[in-house]
Copies of this chain bind each other. A is one copy, B any other.
Amino acid sequence: MAVTVWDGLDRDKLNGIYHSLLNEYEGFRARKLNLDMSRGRPSKAQLNISSGLLDCLSGGDYTAENGLDCRNYGGLDGIPEIKRIVAELMDADVSEVIIGGNSSLSMMFDNIASNVSHGVREDIPWQKQGRVKFICPAPGYDRHFAICEYFHIEMTTVPMTPEGPDMDAVEELAENDAMIKGMWCVPVFSNPDGCVYSPDTVRRIARMKPRAHDFRLYWDNAYCIHNFEGERPVIPNIIRECERAGNPHMPLEFMSFSKISFPGGGISAVITSASNCGYILKRLSTQTIGPDKLNQLRHCRFFKNAEGVLSHMRKHSELIKPKFDATDEIFEKNLGNMGVGFWEKPRGGYFLSFRTLPGCAARVVALCGDAGVSLTKAGATYPYYKDHMDSNIRIAPTSLETEDVRTAAELFCLAVKIASLEKLID
């Protein structure tokens, strides 16, 4: 166990500190806070910078550059101008892009559903091959894990490192077990660690020789342009790297405008080999007569081009960065030399990952919850909600005002101290 600031103090002393912390905690409870740090939700101020999207079309403006009337049926893969913006942002060819509805999660769900029932590229359906497994770097995104659970896909956890997933573990699994059919990745500002995969990690992933020929890489690049300052992080292009490594159809990269424009009115996209796109479109042609092209056009009118999207992201970062700064500052002030909690300050994304002493995470979440600050459920960042160390907590400060972030962070630090002391006294 880590060395804490309290090591060596006698029980009376510890009890004294504990009761003074509890007093302070009661002070928070009396304030009847109601602050939500549980999900990566944009704030009102962030939504407001996109409000031009709401009225950027007019009654006569509905025609895509290829002449398609966006009000009518058709255009299964998306209108050319939005495909071009996405392709430029993601450094892809337009033939590798399909535009979806307002949820990239739906696109991932649907791709997995398709592989389960109809097989990867119409190969043998996963459901006919036995118990399919996925590699799940953890801590990771609870909604990825929920999709696996829904489809009875066994989740095999590999640890995250500051460079990305532990690649020795990943290769060992993927290259030796034919039932390992997939892997979840959030390569840039990962959910929840906020880490960026190193070039070496990306290349090792691309060069894997999975035992299963129908292994698929779910590359959820949700935060690729969500840096807080400077230039966006550059990592090797997974589509090109996989192509070079002889795995051209392995990766499915997803992106979303949920945290660029509106979560409740954005668009999403999958980027994958043109040949994979053909299979996806074939399924889509049975599923729907076409996507909401008007919303695609709205995005084109509002952002104009990829540069427009990137300059818009700078406005987001101006709103988000102070909240992460405040969180880090308060954590540093309260816990910096305590030895009871560990975190990295992320340079982008929506989350901060905190590690308590073993066995304290659930208690911290409960203490915060009782005092009016809701956090993501402890364990949620692990498959099956099983954080065996009971240590990881995901913190999502974006939806609050900075002052409220400070309050919530103060309470959080207090809860960490209380839970840690309870462990030490116990």
Residues of A within 8 A of B (CB): 39, 41-42, 44, 47, 50-52, 54-55, 57-62, 69-75, 101-103, 105-106, 109-110, 113, 116-118, 127, 143, 146-147, 150-151, 258, 262-265, 283, 286-295
| Distance, CA A258 to CA B52, complexed state (A) | 25
Given contacts A113-B113, A150-B286, A289-B103, contact A262 B71 (CB under 8 A): yes
Contact of A73 among B39, B52, B116, B150 (CB under 8 A): B39
B113 near A70 with CB under 8 A, answer no
CB proximity of A356 to chain B, nearest CB, Å: 27
CB contacts (< 8 Å) of A262 on chain B: these are: 71-72, 294
Contact of A264 among B50, B70, B283 (CB under 8 A): B70
CB contacts (< 8 Å) of A103 on chain B: these are: 287-290
CB proximity of A155 to chain B, nearest CB, Å: 14
CB proximity of A278 to chain B, nearest CB, Å: 16
| Distance, CA A106 to CA B74, complexed state (A) | 14
CB contacts (< 8 Å) of A289 on chain B: these are: 103, 105, 143, 258, 263
A42 near B286 with CB under 8 A, answer no
Q: Counting chain B CB atoms within 10 Å of each CB, which of A146, A264, A283 scores highest?
A: A264
CB proximity of A113 to chain B, nearest CB, Å: 6
| Distance, CA A52 to CA B60, complexed state (A) | 10
CB proximity of A401 to chain B, nearest CB, Å: 15
Contact of A54 among B58, B117, B283 (CB under 8 A): B58
CB proximity of A316 to chain B, nearest CB, Å: 14
| Distance, CA A258 to CA B290, complexed state (A) | 11
Contact of A72 among B73, B113, B264, B293 (CB under 8 A): B264
CB contacts (< 8 Å) of A101 on chain B: these are: 101-102, 292
**Which of chain B's residues has its CB closest to A116's CB?**
B117
CB contacts (< 8 Å) of A143 on chain B: these are: 286, 289
A52 near B59 with CB under 8 A, answer yes
A71 near B39 with CB under 8 A, answer no
CB proximity of A144 to chain B, nearest CB, Å: 10
B58 near A55 with CB under 8 A, answer yes
B73 near A146 with CB under 8 A, answer no
B117 near A287 with CB under 8 A, answer no
| Distance, CA A262 to CA B258, complexed state (A) | 23
CB contacts (< 8 Å) of A265 on chain B: these are: 70-71, 292-295
A72 near B47 with CB under 8 A, answer yes
| Distance, CA A318 to CA B396, complexed state (A) | 53
CB contacts (< 8 Å) of A62 on chain B: these are: 47, 51, 54
**Which of chain B's residues has its CB closest to A147's CB?**
B286
CB contacts (< 8 Å) of A291 on chain B: these are: 102, 264
CB proximity of A25 to chain B, nearest CB, Å: 30
**Which of chain B's residues has its CB closest to A100's CB?**
B101
Given contacts A117-B113, A127-B117, contact A41 B263 (CB under 8 A): no
CB proximity of A75 to chain B, nearest CB, Å: 7
CB contacts (< 8 Å) of A50 on chain B: these are: 71
CB contacts (< 8 Å) of A42 on chain B: these are: 72
A-B pairs, 9 with minimum CB distance:
A265-B294, A51-B59, A103-B288, A71-B262, A73-B263, A264-B293, A102-B292, A47-B71, A54-B57
A47 near B60 with CB under 8 A, answer no
**Which of chain B's residues has its CB closest to A108's CB?**
B287
CB contacts (< 8 Å) of A118 on chain B: these are: 150
Further contacts, 19 of them, CB under 8 A, given A75-B264, A109-B287, A146-B286: A39-B73, A41-B72, A47-B72, A51-B62, A54-B58, A54-B62, A55-B58, A69-B264, A71-B262, A71-B265, A73-B264, A74-B264, A103-B290, A105-B289, A113-B113, A263-B289, A264-B290, A265-B292, A265-B295
